[in-house]
Structure 1
Amino acid sequence: MARTLRILLVVALLIVVGLGAYVGYAAIRAAQPVTLPAPTGPYPVGRTITEWTDHARLDPLAPQPGSPRRLSVWLWYPAAPAAEAGTAPYAPGAWAGLHLDGALAWSETGFDDVHVHAVADVPVAAGRFPVVVLEPGLGFAAPQYTAIAENLASHGYLVAGVTPTYSANLTVLDGTAVPSDEAGNPSAFDTADLHAGQAQVAGDRLVDVWAADARFAAAQVAGLQARGRFAGHVDTAATVYIGHSFGGAAALEACRSDPHCAGAADLDGTQYGAVVHSGLTKPLLLIGSQDSCVTGTCEPSAPGDQADRDAARSLVNAGTGPVWCYRIRGAEHFDFTDYGAYYLAAPAGFLLTLGPIDGDVALAIVNAYLGAFVDHAVRGRPAALLAAPSPYAEVEVQRTAP
């Protein structure tokens, strides 16, 4: 009995020592600098953060009724070559609250150690640049898509990243962190597989708010053509809407209802709203993760998969514009965000849906396809990359436009 007890104590001690060693190793890794994937375009990138109020809309998600809808919008843009200047912080001020907190804080790269490529508030490059509106996934915020935004800006686009107030886990207005609430991030989505009907109703209602946010941001950016730093630099003729997850659904709905839309891209997002039944008349890009049904092709393995597949098929079949659909092998839902570029220790990695694909590779693929799609939709450039077969072994081509 005493010998068994000693063995158990030794095993327990080894486990404690092992865990302590791992936590120490992970903390050291999390403190090491990480640089987001380098933009591939010819322009250096500038970034500015602004706040806009839509006085034409009362905010249906605000806890206090009667207030206008307020949004934080991050703008990434082609920058003029400048003298030596430090890059912007990844998550300045209260935006640092996006970092994992509590018991998991040690397991994620510190945001002070995440290095971007954009420089804050520098002059805009010569020329006029088309607008891309970027909407994050439910709970996410615009800065968590910096790798995608910087790459598009480096190719000559003015990217407006919209953080949906009260839907994002955190946004910042007037320097103060604003959390989500039930109206903006409904609990029906937490149990979508069990209550698909409730999730559909909640999604159809919320997608209209987000789509209105996107259209408002596009109109505000167009208004910058006449004033301020961006005067004379905004091409107001056409807008492309892109988004991840629920933001992808909102991007499609915004495009449906905006006559200036040149195309829309949905990154691994279940579709909601009127666009599911009407489709789009403009170019459409759908990119899904490995087992995703949001491109309309899959073998349903979970209760919600059938609904995702049906919505995507309805969207594609109802539209009259060209459609491209792909899935990325080895990618999961969070691989479309900057999370793929951070260091994440095992506890955080288990909680977040990241696939076995290298995060930088996933982002490189997403950036390549988004860039080719936006160039084709706005500038009419040949879309060689969009045609089958793909030069990327990880890409499963499901549908290409003629």
Structure 2
Amino acid sequence: MRGNTGRSDTGRRTGRRRAVGIGALVVIAVTAAAVAGPGAGAEEAAGATGPKAGARTAARTGAPGAVRTGPVAGAMTLPAPTGPFAVGTVALHLTDRQRKDPWVAGQAHRELMVSVRYPAGPGAGRFPRAAQMTGAEAAAFDKLNNFSGHVPPGKVAWGATLTHARAGAPVARSAGRRLPVVLYSPGAGDPRGLGSTLCDELASRGYVVVALDHTYEAPAVEFPGGRVARSVMLDEMARAQRAGKMTELLEKVSAVRVADTRFVLDELARGGRESALPAVLRGRLDLSAVGMFGQSAGGFTAAQALHDDPRIKAAVNMDGVMGYTQRDDDPSHPSTVGRDGVDRPLLLMGMAGDDHHSVASWDAVWRHSAARGAWLRDLTLLGSRHASHTDAEAMVPQLARQVGLSPADVADMIGTVAPARAVAAERAYVTAFFDRWLRGRDAGLLDGPSGRYPEVRFVP
């Protein structure tokens, strides 16, 4: 995340007055201001009705819609996954009737949208490719002034970009009877679809990957029937600033994210007719082998959830500060994962300049986790920026050609590392980590520097 610069999680970060976790709530506020009209945070209906009655409900939806008209830049191409399986996907609408929505007064239940990816079987190519963002998400994303403000609104058809996941494709029988599960949490101000490159990759290698949107924090979450929940963070931040309660707000954001994560795990575990999963996935998930990863605020969420929930066996934090602060070097207001550390495997992956020696919250987590005997690695992707750990790494070079970004603009957004090399390295190390700790398959990539990936530095 960003510090006080007013950019989104996908943007650059300069100087030590910055933060890459929950702490830069300025990011969310700018996101909310950009996408919110009158009645920000209220739901917008387009022929939609509320959720069905029941203790907890889940509605499965088909492929997301796409926005394809007007802007000068057309669809971008995301890197194809390299695993042995095609990728299938289904979007799930989950309702937690045991929890009131923490952001919207009077909303009795917490609703979430998640995307579930999985290894798909023969014939997957007959099914449509899912869009990276739904129509509402794309419209909101267009107004974020993200990507460091280099791409003005109205220039890109964000909803035209497709993932490599096929909506509703059958599950691959050859992937195994029980499939390990990995959760994904996006950075603040980003839709869950901005992590599609890594999510598709893991699914192509036999994982069930569940990507979350955090409703009313994400710029827009689109529910079945076209109902849209928009961010309320602008008002939340304004109130917190007036009351001098920014730390409390940052703590709440983190707590809500972790509660969302734990609820999703609960739903995945529900069986029988009440299961949120499509029939083809019921009974196929190995919930004794659950991992989590995320970028920026999502990386903090992954680490905090690892601390809070023993069902999560291993986590990857990609460039996310793990404290309630707006500065990387500020050790005040630590999180519980910072104070306690973790006792299970944790991989830190940072942009150039971010490691456990320079980021105060990383140092705290590192020291306390090491004291507990946890397996730890800290990797730096040389020449990278904060956004290098998202789909931006593949998208920005295409945007440069389509809307005329300069080489300096590109470097400002995703650094100087070759995009194809960055994507390959991130895929390799994240996959190797989960293979090692969820499947017991250790190819040695995480043991030390590799000549195959000179862009990756192991931080001692």
Please classify the TM superposition score into its range, dividing by the shorter chain length.
Answer: 0.7 to 0.9
Match of 2:103 in 1: 61
Shift of residue 50 of structure 1? 1.2
Task: Provide the C-alpha distance between the structure 1 equivalents of 2:92 and 2:345, rounded to a whole number of angstroms.
Answer: 30
Shift of residue 351 of structure 1? 11
Q: 2:170 aligns with which of 123, 133, 153?
A: 123
Residues 219, 238 of structure 1: alpha-carbon distance in 2 compared, 3 angstrom cutoff: farther
Please give the residue correspondences for 1:123-202 in structure 2 after superposition, counting only pairs within 5 Å. Answer: 123-126=170-173, 127-174=177-224, 175-182=226-233, 186=237, 200-202=247-249
Task: Provide the C-alpha distance between the structure 2 equivalents of 1:230 and 1:382, rounded to a whole number of angstroms.
Answer: 27
SS of residue in 1 equivalent to 2:432: helix
Q: 1:386 aligns with which of 439, 446, 452?
A: 446
Match of 1:331 in 2: 384
Residues 333, 364 of structure 1: alpha-carbon distance in 2 compared, 3 angstrom cutoff: same
Q: 1:235 aligns with which of 286, 301, 323?
A: 286
Shift of residue 336 of structure 1? 0.9
* Aligned amino acid, residue 49 of structure 1: A
Q: 1:374 aligns with which of 409, 414, 434?
A: 434
- TM-score (normalised: structure 1): 0.80
Aligned residues: 354
Please give the residue correspondences for 1:283-302 in structure 2 after superposition, counting only pairs within 5 Å. Answer: 283-292=345-354, 295-298=355-358
Match of 1:276 in 2: 338
Match of 1:82 in 2: 123
SS of residue in 1 equivalent to 2:266: helix
Shift of residue 353 of structure 1? 3.7
Answer yes or no: is 1:361 the counterpart of 2:409: no
Match of 2:295 in 1: 244
Residues 55, 354 of structure 1: alpha-carbon distance in 2 compared, 3 angstrom cutoff: same
Shift of residue 340 of structure 1? 1.5
Match of 2:7 in 1: none
Task: Provide the C-alpha distance between the structure 2 equivalents of 1:184 and 1:49, rounded to a whole number of angstroms.
Answer: 29
Residues 186, 366 of structure 1: alpha-carbon distance in 2 compared, 3 angstrom cutoff: farther
Please give the residue correspondences for 1:203-218 in structure 2 after superposition, counting only pairs within 5 Å. Answer: 203-218=250-265
* Aligned amino acid, residue 147 of structure 1: T
Of residues 165-174 and 93-102 in structure 1, the stretch that sits farther from structure 2 once superposed is: 93-102
* Aligned amino acid, residue 152 of structure 2: L
SS of residue in 2 equivalent to 1:220: helix
Residues 247, 83 of structure 1: alpha-carbon distance in 2 compared, 3 angstrom cutoff: closer
Structure 1: 5+ residue runs without aligned partners? Answer: 1-26, 191-196, 299-304
Q: Are the counterparts in 1 of residues 142 and 158 from structure 2 also a CA contact under 8 Å?
A: no
**CA-atom RMSD, angstroms?**
2.9
Match of 1:105 in 2: 153
Match of 2:332 in 1: none
Match of 2:91 in 1: 49
SS of residue in 2 equivalent to 1:160: strand
Match of 1:398 in 2: 459
User: 1:265-296 CA distances to partner (integer Å, 9 max, x unpaired)?
Assistant: 1000001321111111111100000122xx31
Task: Provide the C-alpha distance between the structure 1 equivalents of 2:214 and 2:235, rounded to a whole number of angstroms.
Answer: 8
SS of residue in 2 equivalent to 1:147: helix
Structure 2: 5+ residue runs without aligned partners? Answer: 1-70, 146-150, 324-334
Residues 146, 225 of structure 1: alpha-carbon distance in 2 compared, 3 angstrom cutoff: farther
Shift of residue 164 of structure 1? 0.5
Task: Provide the C-alpha distance between the structure 2 equivalents of 1:352 and 1:165, rounded to a whole number of angstroms.
Answer: 30
Match of 2:268 in 1: 221
Shift of residue 334 of structure 1? 0.9
Q: Are the counterparts in 2 of residues 253 and 274 from structure 1 also a CA contact under 8 Å?
A: yes
* Aligned amino acid, residue 344 of structure 1: L
* Aligned amino acid, residue 268 of structure 2: V
SS of residue in 2 equivalent to 1:131: strand
Q: Are the counterparts in 2 of residues 276 and 314 from structure 1 also a CA contact under 8 Å?
A: no
Shift of residue 208 of structure 1? 1.6
Larger RCO: 1 or 2 (CA < 8 Å, sep 6+): 2
SS of residue in 2 equivalent to 1:116: strand
Match of 1:254 in 2: 305
Match of 2:316 in 1: 265
SS of residue in 1 equivalent to 2:221: strand
Q: 1:96 aligns with which of 124, 138, 146?
A: 138
Residues 371, 199 of structure 1: alpha-carbon distance in 2 compared, 3 angstrom cutoff: farther
* Aligned amino acid, residue 338 of structure 2: V
Match of 2:39 in 1: none
Larger Cα-atom Rg: 1
Residues 56, 310 of structure 1: alpha-carbon distance in 2 compared, 3 angstrom cutoff: same
Q: Are the counterparts in 2 of residues 171 and 177 from structure 1 also a CA contact under 8 Å?
A: yes
* Aligned amino acid, residue 297 of structure 2: F
- TM-score (normalised: structure 2): 0.70
Residues 349, 171 of structure 1: alpha-carbon distance in 2 compared, 3 angstrom cutoff: farther
Answer yes or no: is 1:72 the counterpart of 2:113: yes
Q: 1:114 aligns with which of 161, 167, 171?
A: 161
Higher helix share: 1
Q: 2:394 aligns with which of 327, 338, 341?
A: 341
Q: Are the counterparts in 2 of residues 270 and 312 from structure 1 also a CA contact under 8 Å?
A: no
